[in-house]
Amino acid sequence: MDIRWLIGVVIISIGISLFYVARYLLAPEGKKKQKAQEIKYLGIVWIVVGALIYLGFVILLFLPQP
């Protein structure tokens, strides 16, 4: 696996996080609760994606190499 792919994933996840935080901060007071809920769900999705990528690499480390 190429390290540039991993760097790209990290940069994309940081960008998405910043985008949603900015949307929350710019939202009117009445919509902040809804935006915070969206950010929470997005965070959960990225945690799961990151865990799956990490587990994929751990599994590859323990597979016998030909």
Summarize pLDDT for 16-63 with one digit per residue, the tens: 888 888 888 888 988 888 888 888 888 888 888 878 887 887 788 888
Domain range for 31 is: 3-62
Q: How many residues does the chain have?
A: 66
How many domains, in total, are found in the chain?
1
Question: From CA 35, how far away is CA 45, in angstroms rounded?
Answer: 15
Rounded to whole angstroms, the Cα distance separating 64 from 43 reads 34
Instruction: Using the Cα atoms of residue 15, residue 17, residue 52 and residue 41 in order, give the sign of their dihedral.
Output: negative
pTM: 0.61
pLDDT > 80? residue 5 = no
Q: Residue 26 and residue 8: Cα distance in Å, rounded? A: 27
pLDDT classification of 1: cutoffs 50, 70, 90: low
Hunting for tokens 């996840």 — which residue is that? 13
